[in-house]
Amino acid sequence: MQYHRVAMLFVLALVPSACATTDPGWTGSGAEPFDAAQAECERLAQTSSADDRDDLIKACMAERGWTRDSTATTEPS
Per-domain residue ranges of the chain: 2-68
Q: Which pLDDT score is estimated for 57?
A: 94
* Full-model pTM: 0.61
**3-28 pLDDT, tens per residue?**
445 444 443 343 444 455 556 789 98
CA 28 – CA 65 distance, rounded (Å)? 6
Packed helices 50-63 and 34-45: angle between N→C axes, nearest 10 degrees:
150
Q: Which pLDDT score is estimated for 60?
A: 95
CA 53 – CA 68 distance, rounded (Å)? 14
Q: Is residue 49 scored above 90 in pLDDT?
A: no
**55-73 pLDDT, tens per residue?**
999 999 999 999 987 765 5
- What DSSP element (H or E) covers 68? strand 66-68
